[in-house]
Structure 1
Amino acid sequence: MTQCRFDDGTDEDDDFPEWEDRVKANVAGEVRRRRKERGWSAQELAERCEQLGHPIPRNVIANMESGRRANLPLVDVMVLAAALKTYPACLIFPVGYVEETQELPFQQLVPTWEALRRFTGEEHVPGYDAGLVPDFERHASLVRTALAGLEEEERARFAAKTATSRAQQEEADRQRAKYGDQAIAAKYRLRILRRELREEGAVTPDLPPALNDVDPPEPDTDTDTTEERL
C-alpha cells in the first residue's frame, strides 16, 4: 500500500503504485502486448533492438515486462518503440489499453488519451512554453500551401495552353493568377518566418527545391571585399 497526495492537499492510502511504477507498468504492458501481437519472443525483440544500435538483452526485456526491472531509461523506451514500429509516447500512454494514468506524482488519475495529448503538446497547457514547435508547425503549413499553389498554377498554365475556347483560356488564366498569388503570399510569409527563426538563433528547416527562392541570396563576400578595396 502506498500513500498518494492529491492536488487538493489531502492524503489518501490506496493500493495504487507510485507514479514512476505506474509509468513503468504502462510501458512494460504495452511492450509485452505489442511483442505478442507480432508473435515475437523476448529474444527476437532483443535482436531487433540490437539491430537498431542499442542492445537491450532478452533478460532485461523479460524483467521489465514482469515488473522486476528497477529502472527504465528513456533511451530504452525510444529503441523499444522503434523496434515495435510505434512511437515512444504510445508506450508511455497506451491509449485504449490503459483507461487512466497519472501525468505527474501526487496528481489525480486522468484519461490516458488526455494525458497523451498534453504530453505531445497537442493540447495546450496554460503557462507551458512550447518553444519553437508552433513556429515549425506554421513553417510546415506554409510550405504545403506554397507547394500546392505552385502545383495548381502549373496545371492552370497547361490548361490555358491547351484550351479550346477563349472562355476556357480566360478561366485557366484566372486560376493561374489565383494560385500564383497564393504561392507568392505563402513564400513571402515563409521568408519572414525563417528570418525571425534565425534571429532567435534557431536552425531553419530545409526547403524543397521548388522553394529555394524563399531565402534571399547570401551576399558575395568576395565581391564586397573587392568593392571595398576599389
Structure 2
Amino acid sequence: MTSSDWSPAFTARVAGQLRRARKAAGLTVAAASEACASASLPIPATTITNLETGRRTSVDLGEFLVLSQVYRVPPVTLLFPLDAEPTVEALPGQNIPAWDALAWFTGETRLDHPAPEGSPREVLDLFRAHSDAVTTALTSARMARERRRKATLATDAGRRAALLDTVAAHEELAGEDQRELHAFRDRMRERGLTPPPLPDELGGGGPSAEGQV
C-alpha cells in the first residue's frame, strides 16, 4: 500500500471499529450523537454516519476520543483491534502483528536496554512502575485487613491467637509496601513529576496525608 493510500485505509478501518463499537453499545446513530453532546462535544449524526460509511476519509482526534468514551471502549483497541486481523499496517508499508502495533502505540515495546533517564519512554515506565507499586500496596493492605477480620471473628481462643500471630506479619508487610510506595512517590516529585492520586485506602488525601504512613 502506498503512503497516499495508507491514511484513508487506516481511517476506514478505524471507522469500521467505531461502527462495531456503537452497535455493541446498543446505540443508534442518533443516540450516539446525543451522548456526544452530553459529553460536551456535539457530533452531528450525519458526521457519525459519514464516517462509518466511508464518505468521510479522516477522523478528528477529539471526536475519536469522545466516541470512544461514549461507546465505552479503550481508544487504542479501535486503532489496533486484537480480535480482528492478526496483522495491521501500523505505518505505511509496515505490516506487523496487531499486538506489536498496540504495544508500540502505548509505549510498551520491549527494550534491549533501559530507556535514557528523562526520555518520554523512561517517564512512562516510571509511571507504570508506580501503578505496580500501588497495586502491591493495595493487595497487602487488604490481605492484612482480611486476616485481622478473621482473627476477630474466631471463637476458638487457640485459633484466634494463631491468626493474630499471622496478622502482625501481614500488617508489617503492608506497612513496608506502603512506605516503599510513598518513597517512590517522593522520588518522582524530586524529579518534578506529579504522582497520580492514591486510593483512599492508601492515604489518598495528598502529600500531607502520605507522610502519616
> TM-score normalised by the shorter chain: which range applies?
0.7 to 0.9
Q: Matches of residues 1-230 of structure 1 in structure 2 within 5 Å?
A: 3=2, 18-38=5-25, 40-107=27-94, 109-125=95-111, 129-160=120-151, 162=154, 164-166=156-158, 168-212=159-203, 215-216=210-211
Mapped partners of 1:18, 1:156: distance in 2:
60
In 1, the alpha carbon distance for the partners of 2:98 and 2:147 equals 47
1:198 shift after superposition: 0.2
5+ unaligned residues in a row in structure 2: which ranges? none
SS in 2 for 1:110: strand
Q: Shift of the alpha carbon at 1:160?
A: 4.5
Cα distance change on mapping 1:74 and 1:131 into 2, 3 Å: farther
Aligned residues with identical type, % of pairs: 29
The letter for the 2-side match of 1:112 is A
What SS does the corresponding residue of 1:102 show, helix, strand or coil? strand
Distance of 1:152 and 1:99 partners within structure 2: 40
Tell me the secondary structure at the aligned position of residue 91 of structure 2.
coil
Q: What's the C-alpha RMSD, in Å, of the aligned pairs? A: 2.8
Letter aligned with residue 170 of structure 2: Y
Contact 1:190–1:214 (8 Å) recurs in 2 = no
Larger Rg: 1
State the distance in 2 between where 1:147 and 1:38 align: 32
The answer on whether the counterparts of 1:146 and 1:186 sit within 8 Å (CA) in structure 2 is: yes
Q: Is the contact between residue 188 and residue 214 of structure 1 (CA under 8 Å) also seen in structure 2?
A: no
The Cα shift of 1:207 comes to: 2.5
Deviation at 1:163, TM superposition (A): 5.3
Residue 121 of structure 2 aligns to a residue in which SS? coil
Alignment partners' CA distance in 1, 2:155 and 2:138 = 24
1:191/1:214 contact within 8 Å kept? no
Of Structure 1 and Structure 2, the greater helix share is in 2
TM-score by length of 1: 0.73
